[in-house]
Amino acid sequence: CDEVYSQKHHLIRHQMTHTGEKPYQCELCDKAFSDKHTLKIHQLMHTGEKLHQCSQCEKVYSQKSNLIRHQITHTGDKPYQCEQCDKAFSQKCTLISHQRT
């Protein structure tokens, strides 16, 4: 493919998406992953560990990306705008769902 990476390990990790190679196996289930980071995130599902707490409320999340998405609910920001009707949404997935209707 045409992907270009500045670091060799990023290229190697990307190449695994083409080969289907998944050398990182979860010890608690049968799932395997192409990179170590994704395995670590997956393992949080088994432990129930939630390391990312919202500073505005009591909610905690196992993944930082989920915390960031949640924090938008406190600010009222709606950065995803429909080009057809000008409605705005706080989450991209909600915009996509709206556009399908």
Task: Specify the pTM.
Answer: 0.51
CA–CA gap between residue 67 and residue 87 (Å, rounded): 24
- The answer to whether 54 and 72 have CB atoms below 8 angstroms apart is no
52 pairs with which residues across the strands?
61
State pLDDT tens for residues 35-93: 888 898 899 889 888 889 999 998 999 888 899 989 988 998 999 999 999 899 998 99
For residue 12, what are its two tokens? 């190697």
Residue 101 identity:
T
Q: What is the CATH number of domain 9-47?
A: 3.30.160.60
CATH 3.30.160.60 given to domain 52-100: yes
Spell out the long-range contacts of 79-84 with Cβ–Cβ below 8 A and sequence spacing 24 or more: none
CATH 3.30.160.60 residue ranges in the chain?
9-47, 52-100
Amino acid at 69: R
